[in-house]
Structure 1
Amino acid sequence: MDTALNTLGAWLLALLWVLPLAYAVWSAIHPTAYSARFELLAPLTLENFGAAWAAAPFPRYFLNTFVLVGSILAGQLVLCTLAAYAFARFRFPGRDLAFALVLVQLMVMPDVVLVENYRSMHALGLVDTLGAMALPYVASAFGIFLLRQTFKTVPTELEEAARIEGCGSFGVLWRVYVPLAKPVYLAYALVSVSHHWNNFLWPLVVSNSVETRPLTVGLSVFAGTDQGIDWAIINAATLISSAPLLVAFLLFQRQFVQSFLRAGIR
């Protein structure tokens, strides 16, 4: 009985995810007149993708998004690794209080600090730059917590053996802890890239020009025109922007799932 309920629940969740995607694909490969109705013999077309690509500077949007997501992930991996290692293996005054403050960050919605983040970026002269979009996210409370819990499971005997071989603190971290946490790093990287690839509100607030807009903000140019909303072109643009993530998942889905299972994220 439990297996049947779990299977039913999995199918329902799959349908909730697949149906909007299926509609987007249907609308994008058919003329606008068929975007709101289903006809089995409706004519197919790829013109919507061409129109969407021509309506916005997608190469620039893709470049900005790759730079933004990559810089955020790089910063998170470095800072979260160092912080997690300190919390897991070092003893220093105020350690438990500092870690409690990190956990509090998990309970605070990013929208709550939106105004203060904008004021900080304005004071630093970073408004309308990729740096302003990335800076508030280069440290992650979730990443620190996840890596700290992982590092605490590493036997201390391995660290002691590394120190006997002459490794210092950074050597132990690089040669012992980081290799053992590779599945966790991969799982976290997937979460981070997916989240910041799709992030919309903060980039919208802090960007003012085409030169700095990522894909999510760039798609807003399709929201409406004097002639109304063209759902076929909007869905084509949405598929173009989400294609890299979809292709990456389809190609590496086995590695993705295994990394989450090994990291204990279920």
Structure 2
Amino acid sequence: MVDRLGPLFRHAVLLLGAAVMLAPFVLMLSLSVKPAAEIFAPQFRLLPEQWSAWENYSAAFTKVPLARFLMNGFIVTFCIFAAQAVTALPMAYALAKLRWRGRDTVFGLVLLALLVPPQVPAIPLYIGLWQLGLLDTYAAIILPSTVSVFGIFLMRQFFRTVPNDLIAAARMDGLSELGIVWRIMLPTAAPALAAFGCLSFIWNWNEFFWPYIAVQSEHLMTPPLGIAFFSDTESGTSWGPLMAAATVTTAPLALAFLLAQRAFVRGVTMSGVK
């Protein structure tokens, strides 16, 4: 009897946690298909009596250039991840497989950098980009995130699991250290890179603080900034279109995780980050 109660209790806790996590998304979907009268009705209904999905979702794309915001989100997140991968792989390889004086100290600084909030260097970064004339450009959003401390840490943990004999064999074949990184370590680290790519996509897609500071032009704004257009303290917030826009901008995140979930779990577990 006790053996049966244990799994039942664990599954009950997991189901409760899943319900708590999914409740905001269910509410978001429910509000996105309701007319304004039902959104503010005293009695809550999960499904609307009168469907306004077409009106809300069409307003989400016509009231603001939501399609442009989505395209900006894809451009920014792809460029940031590409830059992070190019920088993180050789840095992680140097910390994991090369022997040089001060390696452990540098890795300690990497761990220390994980504790620094992104708001701390915001003012120096803003001033530097202003002096370079890069504010209000894609570069203003992308450049501060080109080096990911977490990406270096994650890839370094994965590289430590790669046998040294494989690297020694590559050196005997005449490969340089950079050749080993791109021709040996990169294919081997595909699961960890996929896990990091999923996290990088989620973080940078949802980033609001830095893009809000770095750009002012509407055609450069990312999805989180675009959603803010639906909030108006004077005329009132359009909750139906707002929830529709939030649903549209959240869908790529859910789709990306569903497509990469196996590689994500494998990459995280193999890198030792549990």
Instruction: State the TM-score, normalized to the length of structure 2.
Output: 0.89
- Which of 42, 46, 69 is equivalent to 2:49? 42
Matched residues, number: 266
Pair 182,251 (structure 1): closer, same or farther in 2 beyond 3 Å:
closer
Q: What is the CA RMSD across the aligned residues, in angstroms?
A: 2.0
Pair 189,113 (structure 1): closer, same or farther in 2 beyond 3 Å:
same
Describe the superposition over 1:24-46 as per-residue Cα deviations: whole angstroms up to 9, x where unpaired.
11111111111244245611122
Give yes or no for contact 2:89–2:152 (8 Å, CA) kept in 1: yes
Between 1:174-183 and 1:35-44, the stretch displaced more is 35-44
Pair 174,230 (structure 1): closer, same or farther in 2 beyond 3 Å:
same
Give the letter for the 2:26 counterpart.
A
**Distance in 2 separating the partners of 1:161 and 1:190:** 32
- Which of 18, 23, 39 is equivalent to 1:14? 18
**Distance in 2 separating the partners of 1:102 and 1:255:** 25
Give yes or no for contact 1:28–1:35 (8 Å, CA) kept in 2: no
**Distance in 2 separating the partners of 1:32 and 1:258:** 44
Give yes or no for contact 1:26–1:35 (8 Å, CA) kept in 2: no
Residues 1:123 and 2:131 are matched in the alignment: yes
Alignment of 1:113-192 (within 5 A): 113-192=121-200
Describe the superposition over 1:235-266 as per-residue Cα deviations: whole angstroms up to 9, x where unpaired.
01111112222233345544544444444444
Pair 255,167 (structure 1): closer, same or farther in 2 beyond 3 Å:
closer
Give the letter for the 1:239 counterpart.
T
**Distance in 1 separating the partners of 2:143 and 2:61:** 30
Give the letter for the 2:240 counterpart.
A
SS of residue matched to 2:234: coil
Residues 1:241 and 2:241 are matched in the alignment: no
Alignment gaps of 5+ in structure 1: none
**Distance in 2 separating the partners of 1:241 and 1:151:** 34
Give the letter for the 2:56 counterpart.
N
Alignment gaps of 5+ in structure 2: none
Instruction: State the TM-score, normalized to the length of structure 1.
Output: 0.92
Pair 262,88 (structure 1): closer, same or farther in 2 beyond 3 Å:
closer
Match of 2:77 in 1: 69
Between 1:101-110 and 1:243-252, the stretch displaced more is 243-252
Give yes or no for contact 2:154–2:273 (8 Å, CA) kept in 1: no
Identity value in percent: 35
Residues 1:206 and 2:214 are matched in the alignment: yes
